[in-house]
């Protein structure tokens, strides 16, 4: 396969924003935010690994360089075989630890080292340090030192932008984030970002997600997006916040593990983005985010859920609908909506805010579940969000809060997006979680395979109870921090059955994800 064909897996989508009608000051403001975000993009490629840096340095001038490197950032599974690129790129395989650790450091060696040097544990496992060798020792270099050339100008631009907005909360948030980039202490700026209000613009900027670190799952990758807030639609979603505590109470897992999420601020924001960079722009394009990831902030303030409506619409238009036609039995395909709708995405994100955060040890001390579940947490947490989200939707329909008329549509949409998600390859965190859902529901008879058409469908009599039982399994694995148990669960349910592989084969030629091309019309 040629590089061009590989690139065709990514539907190029123009995301053009017309800023011509905005006041000059707003334009300058947005330009500064975009420029700051571009530095995060550069810092991310540095983080993503030796191979990427070398190639990036060499191909800097080439039009295709970034597109190709984006593909490398997932580089696994049936749709992303590195070999296909080797003749073109001459790239060494990307280490599991990307650029966060020495290339030759194995998980075993690292864990042995941590056990022998408990005093270094915190700094070496910090989300914001790069691990390096120094003689026989491992040392932790803070991000703000390692990536100084990127974070300093980004910080300066955020400070300048802060001078150009009248929103007091946004002004504070930008100034605070500018400081955080230079110290790697994000706590205060995270809180100010969650508490933003009355702002027409928003920005996510800094190191957030852990997916890029496949060695330990603890190092955060830089990312950024500049957003125009849809205040009316955001406001419409706020209604669900009042049910967060009810939902936690209704989750199917033992009471002793549950926590109160009373008084949580958990804003929903619907936006369109006019720029994305770094981890957010690498590989599969996200339609929503639940941030920040700091468990202290979750406990004290909750999280903010962002929905990128332009991206949700683009997926539907360019990929989802066509793929679902190939995978879903015709009578159920008819149930799928033609317009973008954020219900499932919304509940996926709500579910991220629910469930266990800490593993309570026998002596009463608390360990963050990320530390207990390590590399298993990302796929398990994504699966939790899908399954628990669907469970919550069912619960609110049962309570009469959400009308039942779309019930079947939701289950079919969930099946369609689970199957579609497998096209990313099982090494991707969300896809492994989806494979487990499909296999579990198949085993329970809650979804069926129609031999004649080679398509799948939902068994509406069984799906709700299967979703509840699967939710219980996942929540319990998280609450107990059961690393081995999670491994066994992935072993059992994480493989692709032949019937699924065959069905997906019919969608080979469809794009896998979107490659957004952002453009702003300034004048």
Instruction: Give contact residues for Zn ion (rule: CB under 5 A).
Output: 382, 385
Q: Nearest approach, Cβ of 50 to Zn ion (angstroms)?
A: 28
Q: Where are the alpha helices (DSSP H) in 360-497?
A: 369-373, 377-398, 407-421, 429-443, 463-480, 483-493
Q: Which is nearer to Zn ion, 291 or 328 (CB)?
A: 291
Torsion angle, alpha carbons of 280, 281, 283, 288, to 10: 40
Q: Nearest approach, Cβ of 226 to Zn ion (angstroms)?
A: 21
Q: CA-CA distance, 268 to 241, in Å (whole number)?
A: 9
Q: Are 314 and 13 in contact (CB under 8 A)?
A: yes
Q: Nearest approach, Cβ of 288 to Zn ion (angstroms)?
A: 7
Q: Nearest approach, Cβ of 386 to Zn ion (angstroms)?
A: 8
Q: Which is nearer to Zn ion, 248 or 382 (CB)?
A: 382
Q: Which is nearer to Zn ion, 161 or 385 (CB)?
A: 385
Q: Nearest approach, Cβ of 305 to Zn ion (angstroms)?
A: 10
Strand 10-18 relative to strand 129-134, pairing:
unpaired
Q: Which is nearer to Zn ion, 105 or 431 (CB)?
A: 431
Q: Which is nearer to Zn ion, 375 or 382 (CB)?
A: 382
Q: Which is nearer to Zn ion, 129 or 513 (CB)?
A: 513
Q: Nearest approach, Cβ of 504 to Zn ion (angstroms)?
A: 22
Quick one: how many helices (H) and strands (E) in the chain?
25, 13
Q: Nearest approach, Cβ of 351 to Zn ion (angstroms)?
A: 8
Q: Nearest approach, Cβ of 59 to Zn ion (angstroms)?
A: 32
Q: CA-CA distance, 387 to 477, in Å (whole number)?
A: 14
The DSSP string of 37-105 is HHHHHHHHHHHT-HHHHHHHHHHTT-TTHHHHHHHHTT--STT--GGGTHHHH--PPPPTTTTTS-TT-
The sheet with strand 221-229 has its strands ordered as 201-209, 221-229, 268-278, 304-308, 288-291
Rounded to 5 degrees, φ, ψ at 239 are -55, -30
CB-based contacts of 5: which residues, under 8 Å, 6+ apart? none
CA angle 154, 160, 165 (to 5 degrees): 120
Q: Two tokens at 17?
A: 């924003």
C-alpha dist (Å) from residue 263 to 233, 268, 299, 357, 366: 23, 15, 10, 17, 22
68 burial via Cβ count (<10 Å: 0-12, 13-18, 19+):
buried
Nearest alpha-carbon partner for 471 in 201, 272, 219, 250: 250
Q: Which is nearer to Zn ion, 229 or 385 (CB)?
A: 385
Q: Nearest approach, Cβ of 19 to Zn ion (angstroms)?
A: 30
- Residues paired with 129 in a beta bridge: 142
**Secondary structure of residue 368 in the 3-state scheme:** strand
Task: Report the residue closest to Zn ion, judged by CB.
Answer: 385
Q: Are 111 and 97 in contact (CB under 8 A)?
A: no
The residue to which tokens 């450091």 are assigned:
105
Q: Nearest approach, Cβ of 273 to Zn ion (angstroms)?
A: 17
Q: Nearest approach, Cβ of 352 to Zn ion (angstroms)?
A: 6
CB-based contacts of 128: which residues, under 8 Å, 6+ apart? 142, 143, 144, 184, 186, 207, 220
Q: Which is nearer to Zn ion, 37 or 287 (CB)?
A: 287
Q: Nearest approach, Cβ of 382 to Zn ion (angstroms)?
A: 5
């Amino acid at each position: 396969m040629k590089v061009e064909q590989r690139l065709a897996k990514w539907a190029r989508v123009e995301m053009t924003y017309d800023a011509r009608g905005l006041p000059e000051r707003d334009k300058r403001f947005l330009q500064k935010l975009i420029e700051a975000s571009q530095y995060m993009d550069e810092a991310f490629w540095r983080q993503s690994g030796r191979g990427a840096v070398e190639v990036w340095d060499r191909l800097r001038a080439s039009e295709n360089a970034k597109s190709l490197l984006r593909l490398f950032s997932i580089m696994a599974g049936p749709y992303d075989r590195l070999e296909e690129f080797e003749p073109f790129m001459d790239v060494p395989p990307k280490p599991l630890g990307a650029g966060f650790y020495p290339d030759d450091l194995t998980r075993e060696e690292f864990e042995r080292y941590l056990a022998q040097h408990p005093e270094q544990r915190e700094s070496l496992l910090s989300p914001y340090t790069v691990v390096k060798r120094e003689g026989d020792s491992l040392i932790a270099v803070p991000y703000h030192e390692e990536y100084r050339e990127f974070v300093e100008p980004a910080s300066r631009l955020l400070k300048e932008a802060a001078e150009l907005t009248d929103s007091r909360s946004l002004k504070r948030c930008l100034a605070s984030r500018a400081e955080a980039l230079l110290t790697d202490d994000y706590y205060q700026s995270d809180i100010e970002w969650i508490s933003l209000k009355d702002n027409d613009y928003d920005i996510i900027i800094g190191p957030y997600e852990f997916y890029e670190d496949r060695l330990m799952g603890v190092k955060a990758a830089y990312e950024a997006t500049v957003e125009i807030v849809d205040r009316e639609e955001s406001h419409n979603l706020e209604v669900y916040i009042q049910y967060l505590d009810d939902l936690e109470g209704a989750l199917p897992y033992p009471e002793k593990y549950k926590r109160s999420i009373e008084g949580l601020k958990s804003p929903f924001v619907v936006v369109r983005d006019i720029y994305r960079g770094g981890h957010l722009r690498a590989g599969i394009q996200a339609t929503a985010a639940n941030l920040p990831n700091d468990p202290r902030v979750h406990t004290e303030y909750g999280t903010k859920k962002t929905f990128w409506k332009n991206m949700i619409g683009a997926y539907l238009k360019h990929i989802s609908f066509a793929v679902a036609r190939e995978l879903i039995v015709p009578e159920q395909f008819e149930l799928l909506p033609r317009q973008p709708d954020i219900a499932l995405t919304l509940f996926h994100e709500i579910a991220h805010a629910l469930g266990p955060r800490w593993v309570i040890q026998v002596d009463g001390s608390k360990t963050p579940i990320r530390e207990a579940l390590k590399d298993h947490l990302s796929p398990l947490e994504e699966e939790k969000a899908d399954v628990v989200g669907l469970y919550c939707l069912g619960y609110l329909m049962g309570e009469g809060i959400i009308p039942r008329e779309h019930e079947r549509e939701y289950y079919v949409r969930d099946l369609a997006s689970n199957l579609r998600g497998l096209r990313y390859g099982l090494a991707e965190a969300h896809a492994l979680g989806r494979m487990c859902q499909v296999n579990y529901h198949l085993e329970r008879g809650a979804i069926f395979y129609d031999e004649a058409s080679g398509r799948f469908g939902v068994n509406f009599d069984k799906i709700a109870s299967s979703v509840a039982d699967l939710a219980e399994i996942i929540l319990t694995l998280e609450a107990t921090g059961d690393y081995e148990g999670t491994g066994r669960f992935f072993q059992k349910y994480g493989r692709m059955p032949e019937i699924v592989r065959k069905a997906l084969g019919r969608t080979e030629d469809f794009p896998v994800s979107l490659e957004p091309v952002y453009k702003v019309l300034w004048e």
